[in-house]
Amino acid sequence: MLHLVEYFDKGRYRPLLYRAALSEMYVPYADPTPSHNFKNVFDAGEVGIGVLANSLELGCDCLGEIYYFDATVNDAEGQPIVLTNAICMHEEDASILWKHLEYQEDGSTRAEVRRSRRLVISSISTVGNYEYGFYWYLYQDGTIQYEIKLTGIIAPAAITPGEQPVSGTLVAPGLYGPHHQHYFNVRLDMMVDGLQNSLVEVNCEPLPWGPDNPRGNAWVARETELATVGQAQRSIEPRTARYWKIVNPTARNALGQPVAYKLVPAGNAFPFFHEGSPQWLRGGFARWHLWATPYDPHERYAAGDYPNQQPGGGDGLPVYVERKKDHTLVETDLVVWYTLGSNHVVRPEDWPVMPVETVGFRLQPAGFFDGNPALDVPPSEHNH
């Protein structure tokens, strides 16, 4: 959980996020057999992802110059316990930040390049058979990236030799891995240069042929304000390169544009369970990739405070939205909820321990600065 993320810009701290945290994670299984068809686990709201955090080890989970945070949590009886090294913070090289090469009149070349350094804040939790690594990456150009690394051991099932699973993949003689999905919801309490934030959807689309587009190559990035809670239930759309902007209309950059940050989706998934199924009712936040609400201190979890006590889906984002669907999202204390999913069609290579799979998204400045904010990064020792 991050609190009050700011960027130090020209002698002042500019707020970006008031609070950012994983809100819920949900794992519905696709196998229709009796041993798996009931599985739809809420690893945050039911199991407790925080109390399952690993004690991280130097040189294995994290590398370099590291600061560790201990965490004090409650055990099953409500007693405080300390998890040592539950959170790791370190800096690491992240390839190039920016580069340009110029050809000189004498035939020589001159290159300017800057290495990127990113601050990594991470934690890893073991939930039964699976490991989940949660990584915040803070970059010098103002980009904030959230990445979840999935690894560990699949939940295998037995099968009669010679048979093929309906919703799964054989991984060893007599064993198969059931297909399943992982859904994560991240709650972003935005604060882009203040609390007067609005939400805009951006879709890229071609312009029609005509005198203003004689070669048929022109396209535009069309912006649509999502003005109410009811309008702000949206899905990804790769065909239009869809993303969303969190805009502060009361603050302007040097070009007179409202300052903004954009939420850029990475890989994602759509639910395959049927409408009206227990998975649909309980995991309602997976129906849309983007939700938005005005700030409410009582609305912090995408599936509600107690998902294990709401088998019919009586709480969480669908309920929040229904009771506030006409509330404005214009110049308000805006909370954006982003759902990201991993569709796991099990491979033989996932057995006996699966290599890391990743899902995530980025928050990037989009007019928040007057130009490239990373021009002040000094060249490295070997730059020439």
3-state secondary structure of 43: helix
Q: For residues 178 and 289, what is the distance between their CA atoms, to the nearest angstrom? A: 24
Give, rounded to a whole angstrom, the gap between the first and last alpha carbons of the chain: 40
- Show the tokens assigned to 256: 């007179």
Please give the DSSP secondary-structure letter assigned to residue 45.
Answer: I
Q: Which of 120, 144, 150, 80 is nearest to 342 (CA)?
A: 150
Do the beta carbons of residue 340 and residue 359 sit within 8 Å? yes
The C-alpha angle with vertex 316 and arms to 311 and 320, in degrees rounded to 5, equals: 135
Do the beta carbons of residue 328 and residue 294 sit within 8 Å? yes
Kindly name the residue from 7, 26, 130, 132 that is annotated as catalytic: 130
Kindly name the residue from 18, 26, 31, 43 that is annotated as catalytic: 43
Residue 183 falls in the annotated catalytic set: no
Rounded to 5 degrees, φ, ψ at 303 are -105, 15
Q: Which of 107, 76, 25 is nearest to 301 (CA)?
A: 25
Rounded to 5 degrees, φ, ψ at 267 are -60, 145
Q: Which of 159, 162, 164, 163 is nearest to 175 (CA)?
A: 159
3-state secondary structure of 51: helix
Residue 130 falls in the annotated catalytic set: yes
The C-alpha angle with vertex 305 and arms to 302 and 308, in degrees rounded to 5, equals: 100
Rounded to 5 degrees, φ, ψ at 286 are -80, -5
Do the beta carbons of residue 145 and residue 362 sit within 8 Å? yes
- The answer for 217, left when phi > 0, alpha when psi is -120 to 50, beta otherwise, is alpha
Catalytic residue numbers, as ranges: 43, 130
